[in-house]
């Protein structure tokens, strides 16, 4: 089968800001067909923010495409804020946005941390989800976090790992998340920025089979890195704020026959395939699609093709 590519770039038909608490206001946008099938995109990170390319995984003639920036990142305010910022807050933000836009049910699309949020939302508000389209499955279990921040990915990227370790003294390297948390919350702005860039660049270096200079420029930018590193570290140290470790996989059977596609790169170093495999076994309605020549990034050709095929199949 010929590989699919992204749909042409489009501009939003609507942009807005939604007050979700006394502290937080989130940015959202709508594009595509106002009468089309609704879909909401959960971006990665947490703390990554939405990008224009996220509109392009959907046929704009058949979809009403909703993007939003989660609390503390992108164009949402306040920037890099950790207070009132948990998975449960984000789930209710999605519900507030759905009601604000007058949508009854929507497809939920997300990759990496976006898959975590999409699955969590679907488990809490199953009746509001028409389908799930997921990529690079991540559930914040300790073994997943240890793979990337303790032992595993560093065997594949020892050079990038060396740079990731650089801001942390040898004596503190037994708990890198805690060591980074101290620096990301430091009074000295230069210490915060050095830690944020090192944290962000480690992930940016490992997400795809082939390096991307454009991605590295984005991940090392001051504004992006500060939100990305601070919010990721905050969520990861808390295990996603779930009531117990493994909550998503344990509860996935409750999704029943809710239809969905799980797209997973075989050589994904950030969120290895084991978690996607376990989700596929636990969720009757999910269909696992393994891309044999891809890593983690949504922009890799095989991942793009599988995601576009999935959204086309659900366009109705």
Low-confidence ranges of the chain (pLDDT < 70): 1
Flag whether 57 is in a domain.
Answer: yes
Q: What is the CATH number of the domain that holds 58?
A: 3.40.50.1820
Count of domains observed in the chain: 2
pLDDT at 2: 87
pLDDT at 212: 87
69: Cβ contacts below 8 Å, ≥ 6 apart = 26, 27, 28, 43, 49, 50, 75, 76
Of the candidates 43, 115, 208, 268, the residue annotated as catalytic is: 268
Which of these three, 204, 239, 274, is where a domain ends? 239
89 is a catalytic site residue: no
Of the candidates 24, 43, 234, 296, the residue annotated as catalytic is: 296
Share of the chain above pLDDT 90, in %: 97
Where does residue 307 fall: left (phi above 0), alpha (psi -120 to 50 degrees), or beta otherwise? alpha
Which of these three, 215, 239, 263, is where a domain ends? 239
In this structure, the answer to whether residues 126 and 34 fall within a common structural domain is yes
112 is a catalytic site residue: yes
Determine which helix (DSSP H) or strand (DSSP E) holds 132, and give its type and residue range.
strand 129-137
- Tokens in use for 271? 């969120």
Entry pTM: 0.97
181: Cβ contacts below 8 Å, ≥ 6 apart = 233, 234, 237
pLDDT digit string, tens, across residues 183-208: 999 999 999 999 999 999 999 999 99
300: Cβ contacts below 8 Å, ≥ 6 apart = 208, 209, 265, 291, 294
Domain that holds residue 168: 143-239
C-alpha to C-alpha distance for 201 and 211, rounded to whole angstroms: 12
Of the candidates 112, 120, 208, 305, the residue annotated as catalytic is: 112
What is the edge-to-edge ordering of all strands in the sheet holding 25-32? Answer: 14-19, 25-32, 63-68, 37-42, 106-112, 129-137, 260-265, 286-291
pLDDT digit string, tens, across residues 289-298: 999 999 999 9
In this structure, the answer to whether residues 114 and 56 fall within a common structural domain is yes
pLDDT at 158: 98
pLDDT at 209: 87
Which of these, 193, 241, 224, lies nearest to 90 by C-alpha position? Answer: 241
Which of these three, 185, 211, 239, is where a domain ends? 239
């Amino acid at each position: 089968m010929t590989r699919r590519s992204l749909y042409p770039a489009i501009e939003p038909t609507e942009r807005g800001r939604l007050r979700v608490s006394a502290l937080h206001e989130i940015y959202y946008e709508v594009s595509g067909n106002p009468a089309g099938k609704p879909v909401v995109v959960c971006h990665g990170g947490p703390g990554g923010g939405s990008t224009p390319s996220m509109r392009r995984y959907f046929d704009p003639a058949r979809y009403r495409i909703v993007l939003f920036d989660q609390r503390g990142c992108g164009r949402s305010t306040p920037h890099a804020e950790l207070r009132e910022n948990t998975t449960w807050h984000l789930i209710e933000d999605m519900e507030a946005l759905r009601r604000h836009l007058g949508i009854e049910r929507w497809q939920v699309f997300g990759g990496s941390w976006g898959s975590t949020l999409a699955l969590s939302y679907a488990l809490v508000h199953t009746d509001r989800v028409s389908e799930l389209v997921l990529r690079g499955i991540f559930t914040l279990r300790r073994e997943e976090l240890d793979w990337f921040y303790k032992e595993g990915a560093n065997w594949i990227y020892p050079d990038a790992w060396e740079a990731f370790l650089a801001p942390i003294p040898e004596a503190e390297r037994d708990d890198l998340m805690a060591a980074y948390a101290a620096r990301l919350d430091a009074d000295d702005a230069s210490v915060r920025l050095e830690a944020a860039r090192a944290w962000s660049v480690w992930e940016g270096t490992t997400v795809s089979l082939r390096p991307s200079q454009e991605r590295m420029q984005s991940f090392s930018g001051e504004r992006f890195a500060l939100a990305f590193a601070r919010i990721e570290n905050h969520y990861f140290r808390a295990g996603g704020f779930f009531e117990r470790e493994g909550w998503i996989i344990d509860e996935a059977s409750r999704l029943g026959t809710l239809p969905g596609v799980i797209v997973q790169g075989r050589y994904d170093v950030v969120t290895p395939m084991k978690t996607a495999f376990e989700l596929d076994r636990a969720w009757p309605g999910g269909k696992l699609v393994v891309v044999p020549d891809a890593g983690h990034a949504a922009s890799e050709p095989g991942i793009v093709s599988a995601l576009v095929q999935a959204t086309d199949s659900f366009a109705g």
